[in-house]
Structure 1
């Protein structure tokens, strides 16, 4: 029972403080966020960068072998990434070559040996729209032509 009274008392105090001073707390929070993003953030980032550089230089100044080992590890990692990239590029190039060869074979199958297309091949069809018939004339939307522009068309000339 005693613990419940303490917790209830704390919650009531917090709620009443927010009720009485809520707008002031909100205003202070907004001002703090503005100051943090405008000024403090850049100073904190600069300080953290400076601190990291200082620790780095102290660490590798004391032990140059550690610096060399790190450089070698970085170079090995870069070489692994380069080898992986080269392998993937070669695989991609082979796939492209296979696709091109397949396209050439399909194209050669469509044409007979004398340079013309075989009868009944799919590419011999014309690529007209399915509803288009050239004997029926032009469509409804293409018959309008706007009037020619002249120097006097907008109420000038006279």
Structure 2
């Protein structure tokens, strides 16, 4: 993995609409349409399906604003702030294994069937990293450029 593969900062929020408005009013951010739905995941406790929804900014640097999912890792950071840092990955399993060798712990992952693989890993410092398979990039770039629809 390389620093230049970092492509977004994710924020999990209590008040989705108010957060979008705050970043628009304060910093001029423009937003894509909200996307999401049922996402099958593997968590440390086992398999689960969570309803996850978010909106990405059309504006750079790219932000991902995510609706809170109570009782999961998709909870707001205490006091606000960045929830995770997202990186493109050419091989999510291999990159996750390398991060695990460096002391990162997998908190959630999705395998490829039904969607691009991704993984969330927490580092020794507490940093949460999202690895997103680069196969998702063309669809996300189309979504970002048009500001709506599905990714």
TM-score norm. by structure 1 comes to: 0.13
Tell me which protein shows more strand as a share of its residues. 2
**Larger relative CO (CA 8 A, sep 6+): 1 or 2?**
2
TM-score norm. by structure 2 comes to: 0.13
Tell me which protein shows more helix as a share of its residues. 1
